[in-house]
Structure 1
Amino acid sequence: MADEAKAKGNAAFSAGDFSTAIRHFSDAISLAPTNHVLYSNRSAAYASLHKYSDALDDAKKTVELKPDWSKGYSRLGAAHLGLTNFEDAVSAYKKGLEYDPNNEALKSGLADAQSSASRSRAAPPPMGNNMFNDAFAGPEMWAKLTADQSTRAYLQQPDFVKMMQEIQKNPSNLNLHLKDQRVMQALGVLLNLKFRTPTSEDTDMPESSPSPSSPPERKRAAEAEPVKEPEPEPEPEPMEFSEEEKERKERKAHALKEKELGNAAYKKKDFDTAIAHYSKAIELDDEDISYIMNRAATYLEMGQYEECIKDCDKAVERGRELRSDFKMIAKALTRKGTALAKMAKSSKDYVPAIETFQKALTEHRNPDTLKKLNDAEKAKKELEQQEYFDPKLADEEREKGNEYFKQQKYPDAVKHYTESLKRNPNDPRAYSNRAACYTKLGALPEGLKDAEKCIELDPTFSKGYNRKGAVQFFMKEYDKAMETYQEGLKHDPHNQELLDGIKRCVEQINKASRGDLSPEELKERQAKGMQDPEIQNILQDPVMRQVLTDFQENPKAAQEHTKNPMVMNKIQKLVSAGIVQIR
């Protein structure tokens, strides 16, 4: 049971759902409270959510349960570093290096901790220094940008990296790049103005826990260091070979030749011949699971999925006995999942394939495996929708929803509209009706989403525009609501509901223009307006800032600005948002 909960936690961690991962790891810990790997994995999940105090508690427990495990000290150092306990972080990394002196992850962590500690001991900067200097100083800047989901992808973009390097060299250069939304996002992350949920790429996969009967623990994807190949042993002199050793070397060499012959036959699509060569290689050398893997791949190409699955299971079992590279284990599981997914096209059961791909991801987080998992989950969902699809029952559920709507029983109406959409997800009427229910219940974001889906399914359906405009009106986005009503009139020019909607929007906009808003209303509208990215862009536009200055100080220039429709449109948006008042 603990292994099952841990596997679910690893799968959630791989998908970037760290809260769910924590829940599963906690379930596993309750079943196996002395398993140090579970605490290590949960510590990594806590750290990914910036919950460094909880991460520290789990890291301490990891070290307590297995003091000679270097990975525990890596977790401990990371937690201390997140809490800015730099000296403690240095001590933790140094302790880990005592057990594993060549661990690159510990070396890198120690370097960061020492750098942070030295800066923390430095004298504070003069009061006149730029407030952003510390945010862009040192390697922590890159670490924070890498750890945050919203900025990690930017580090693959050369122009963004160049901008950040310029800012790091001279923080006053920040003003040159403030218009770039990526830089603004990065600034928010560095100043801790807004926290974002990290993705699965923030940290590597936590490693699986070995069972008591399993061989010594293999390195997992949670370890940042590369897999180390065993160093070749020096070859003894020929005369020192025993007969048994000579025979063993000959068998291995023969097996390798059989594999090469199998590969050549596979490329020619002579699968039967390839199977024969791979089988001979397996018979000669049972210590190399690549021969089994190759035969499984051949069975997969031949459509003999059951045989492929048997070979994959054999490769996993033998690989664990031989302590093979975890990437090979993951590859075998992925190949098995692929065979199961092929079989699911006729069996209609994608669950075994999905579970197998998830197991593969706990061994090694591979983009190809993740894609196969997503495809299998998508196919499962589509199959369920196809089996559930019934337009007739959908219409019946929609009518039941209509009856409850008339009785003002909106939650019940939502329930039936939702069931209608499950039966027929392409009915714009059900989306329109559910949007109306959500509006009545004050669930405006949900109502807006349904109205937009309704318009997407049928751009000529005027009800969809009316629903969307109503939601935007109640959200006090009067300009946007008017645009929606006007778009609807293009398809239905005489629709009275759309015309009435425009009238209401004009009244509210004119009210703001005349300055008839109460102080409370004005304050609320201004606060809402400042959250609108479009309003923010207008206020940051140097041209518009000059226009606003001219309206206050230069009437002649202001008169010229009124002749520019684009400028006046932006002015009107500012007026509607309560940012600007015209007297």
Structure 2
Amino acid sequence: MSADEYKAQGNAAFVAKDFTKAVEFFTKAIEASPSANHALYSNRSGAYTSLKQFDKALEDALKTIEINPTWAKGYNRAGAAYYGLGEFLKSKEYYEKTLEIDPSNAQAKSEISKIEQYVGNSAEQEQANDLFKIFNDPNLIEKLKRNPQTAELMKDPALVDKVIRFKSNPQAFSQEFLQDPRLMTVFAALMGINLNDDSPVAPGASSSAAPEPATATPATSTSSEPAAEPTKDTEGDVEVKDAEPEVTEDASSKALADESKAEGNKLYKQRQFDAAIELYNKAYSIYPDVTYLNNRAAAEFEKGDYETTIATCEDAIAKGREIRTDYKVIAKSYARIGSSYLKLENYEQAIKFFEKSLTEHRTPDVLTKLRSTQKLIKEAEAKSYIDPAKAEEARLQGRDFFTKGDWPSAVKAYDEMIKRAPEDARGYSNRAAALAKLMSFPEAVKDAETAIKIDPTFIRAYIRKASAEIAMKSFSEALETLDIARTKDTELNNGANAKEIDSLYSKAYSQRFSTDNANETPEETLARVSRDPEVAAILQDPIMNSILGQARDDPRALQEHMKNPEIAKKVNILIAAGVIRTR
């Protein structure tokens, strides 16, 4: 089953609110997809969110953004997942990124408004986050049941149900806080406070429900930023130091490396690749930026040193993974490996690395290269299959099946003949004849046209095409095909096929103007056929009117005019239409 089919099943399951099944189908679609598809990860993220598996939803949302950073819905998915995890600041941040891409996105606007109304300013937001973490503890109720302060209270199912509801909406806790005094005791226990004692935890009570204590900070401090780590000087006194010099040194090294890279780029444009490579190496030795390795690989590629290019790109990928380089840079490395294998005519490996590049970052250029390489593989496979001797065996086999009236088997045999000898027009013409017997007339016309394209002198292909067109009631097209067939047959074969061509002419005309009314009068016939545009044009032609007038007075005059092919054609149309009656 294809990725699109699995996706459709996943969508159906999602609409039916069977989110577990939806996840299953979207997973299969992702596995079946030839390249990373952002929409599939987005859909699975939505299903995970509906199942409240927010960590998995977030993972898929971030993958969606990684594949297609310009797709607004991916950021919406991430916003929803972060919201579910209680990270409201992050949630708002991603919804705001949605609006950067799609300023009119109604969902993002609504969610941002809800977050702002729900948690207010950043200080309140941190409190909401803390509340969420406390109430989202999977062992919350058990801990409250074991805590001496709340053990008796938790025997009331109504209170337990209320606390459970706070797991999905912690902010509601503050709204009911004053309405139910017991909640103050529950909250105190969760915070590790005994309302009957000044100590952090009541004597002898379990502190398992309390959160980890924060590191103590001076009472006068108002900053939420962590203090710098204290260090000891040589005298043993404690002092605070800022670790700043290292950043300045990195920036200086990067600037110096970029200078070498810029010089290398100039030489690259001048096609002085060896000199450019030296400068890219220098840049990388000064500052380990993977971009310099990619530039070096580009120069090696232009030199035609494809094996070295591959090795350099592999180094770039390994280093990039180590230092968490932007996925777009990694994608370029993979793409260049693919291009190198393409030059080496190792198409399977080229496809493998183009697909890896698209998984990191989808670009039209790499997608085009992937499809072109896949096409090259198909063409190579087709060429390797060509065998004239086996094509002749298939032709004879097809002829036997055709003679016996086994049309499906004849089509299969001619299929094989075409694969073995794709430039032999007979294979397409013969298959057209078999397809016509199966009443597959459009396919028969297509095969006949292919045969004509391969060999424009192949009269049999014209005849088979015209026969199929008559069967489809495409009479004008059939007559045009027969006109070409007659001209070529006269030029090339001295009219050897004239009888068969004339028979098809007659068949096309008679079927074109046939009627079920055997007692139709000449006047009725003229009224009916005059609706045919070609007949109407002939009847309105003053020259033809003059010729027809002469024919009424002297029938022999018509025979003289019939020597002109154009006039003969028009007269035959009028005869077939019944305007001129020969009897």
User: TM-score scaled by structure 2?
Assistant: 0.53
Q: What CA distance in whole angstroms lies between the structure 2 residues aligned with 1:411 and 1:339?
A: 45
Question: Aligned residue for 2:412?
Answer: 415
Q: 1:516 to 1:315 in 2, by over 3 A?
A: farther
Task: Report the secondary structure of 2:456's partner residue.
Answer: coil
| 1:383 maps to amino acid | A
Deviation at 1:408, TM superposition (A): 1.4
Question: Aligned residue for 2:386?
Answer: 389
Whether the 8 Å CA contact 2:473–2:512 is kept in 1: the answer is no
Question: Aligned residue for 1:108?
Answer: 104
Deviation at 1:389, TM superposition (A): 1.9
Whether the 8 Å CA contact 1:22–1:46 is kept in 2: the answer is no
Task: Report the secondary structure of 1:103's partner residue.
Answer: helix
Q: Does 1:503 align with 2:499?
A: no
| 1:244 maps to amino acid | E
Question: Aligned residue for 1:478?
Answer: 475
Seq. identity, %: 32
| 2:98 maps to amino acid | N
Q: Does 1:327 align with 2:328?
A: yes
Which of structures 1 and 2 has the larger relative contact order (alpha carbons within 8 angstroms, sep 6+)?
1
Task: Report the secondary structure of 2:271's partner residue.
Answer: coil
Q: What CA distance in whole angstroms lies between the structure 1 residues aligned with 2:509 and 2:76?
A: 56
**Residue pairs, 1:458-473, within 5 angstroms:** 458-473=455-470
**Residue pairs, 1:192-207, within 5 angstroms:** none
Deviation at 1:398, TM superposition (A): 1.1
Task: Report the secondary structure of 1:269's partner residue.
Answer: coil
**Residue pairs, 1:180-329, within 5 angstroms:** 242-286=244-288, 288-329=289-330
Q: 1:34 to 1:19 in 2, by over 3 A?
A: closer
Q: What CA distance in whole angstroms lies between the structure 1 residues aligned with 2:94 and 2:507?
A: 73
Question: Aligned residue for 1:406?
Answer: 403
Task: Write the deviation string for residues 99-131 of structure 1: whole angstroms up to 9, x where unpaired.
Answer: 5223234543329999xxxxxxxxxxxxxxxxx
Whether the 8 Å CA contact 1:473–1:481 is kept in 2: the answer is yes
Question: Aligned residue for 1:161?
Answer: none
Q: What CA distance in whole angstroms lies between the structure 1 residues aligned with 2:324 and 2:578?
A: 74
Q: 1:448 to 1:31 in 2, by over 3 A?
A: closer
| 1:316 maps to amino acid | I
Q: 1:46 to 1:335 in 2, by over 3 A?
A: closer
Q: Which residue, 16, 35, 44 being the options, matches 2:39?
A: 44
Whether the 8 Å CA contact 2:451–2:461 is kept in 1: the answer is yes
Q: 1:465 to 1:559 in 2, by over 3 A?
A: closer
Question: Aligned residue for 1:169?
Answer: none
| 1:102 maps to amino acid | K
Q: What CA distance in whole angstroms lies between the structure 2 residues aligned with 1:275 and 1:412?
A: 62
Q: What CA distance in whole angstroms lies between the structure 1 residues aligned with 2:331 and 2:97?
A: 25
| 1:250 maps to amino acid | S
Superposition RMSD on alpha carbons, in Å?
5.0
| 2:96 maps to amino acid | P
Task: Write the deviation string for residues 519-576 of structure 1: whole angstroms up to 9, x where unpaired.
Answer: xxxxxxxxxxxxxxxxxxx99xxxx9xx99xx9xxxxxx99845599xxx9xx9xxx9
Q: What CA distance in whole angstroms lies between the structure 2 residues aligned with 1:62 and 1:37?
A: 20
Q: What CA distance in whole angstroms lies between the structure 1 residues aligned with 2:314 and 2:350?
A: 14
**Residue pairs, 1:420-499, within 5 angstroms:** 420-493=417-490, 494=495, 495=497, 496-499=499-502
| 1:245 maps to amino acid | V
Q: What CA distance in whole angstroms lies between the structure 1 residues aligned with 2:264 and 2:387?
A: 51
Q: What CA distance in whole angstroms lies between the structure 1 residues aligned with 2:259 and 2:37?
A: 46
Deviation at 1:31, TM superposition (A): 9.5
Deviation at 1:472, TM superposition (A): 1.2
Question: Aligned residue for 2:46?
Answer: 59
Q: 1:400 to 1:46 in 2, by over 3 A?
A: farther
Q: 1:429 to 1:559 in 2, by over 3 A?
A: closer
Q: Does 1:372 align with 2:375?
A: no
Q: 1:44 to 1:34 in 2, by over 3 A?
A: closer
Deviation at 1:413, TM superposition (A): 1.5
Task: Report the secondary structure of 1:426's partner residue.
Answer: coil
Q: 1:511 to 1:45 in 2, by over 3 A?
A: farther
Question: Aligned residue for 2:176?
Answer: none
Deviation at 1:381, TM superposition (A): 2.3
Q: 1:77 to 1:292 in 2, by over 3 A?
A: closer
Task: Report the secondary structure of 1:425's partner residue.
Answer: coil
Q: What CA distance in whole angstroms lies between the structure 2 residues aligned with 1:491 and 1:112?
A: 69
| 2:267 maps to amino acid | A
Question: Aligned residue for 1:234?
Answer: none
Q: Which runs of 5+ in 2 are unaligned?
A: 14-20, 66-70, 78-89, 111-240, 521-530, 545-565
Deviation at 1:428, TM superposition (A): 0.6
Deviation at 1:329, TM superposition (A): 2.8
Question: Aligned residue for 2:206?
Answer: none
Q: What CA distance in whole angstroms lies between the structure 2 residues aligned with 1:36 and 1:407?
A: 48
State how many pairs are aligned. 373
User: TM-score scaled by structure 1?
Assistant: 0.53
Q: Does 1:361 align with 2:358?
A: yes
Q: What CA distance in whole angstroms lies between the structure 2 residues aligned with 1:45 and 1:517?
A: 67
Q: What CA distance in whole angstroms lies between the structure 1 residues aligned with 2:356 and 2:437?
A: 45
The structure with the larger Rg is: 2
Q: What CA distance in whole angstroms lies between the structure 2 residues aligned with 1:471 and 1:334?
A: 48
Q: What CA distance in whole angstroms lies between the structure 2 residues aligned with 1:278 and 1:372?
A: 27
Deviation at 1:434, TM superposition (A): 0.5
Question: Aligned residue for 2:223?
Answer: none
Q: 1:37 to 1:408 in 2, by over 3 A?
A: closer
Deviation at 1:19, TM superposition (A): 4.6
Q: 1:29 to 1:298 in 2, by over 3 A?
A: farther
Whether the 8 Å CA contact 2:30–2:40 is kept in 1: the answer is no
| 2:500 maps to amino acid | E
Q: 1:361 to 1:445 in 2, by over 3 A?
A: farther
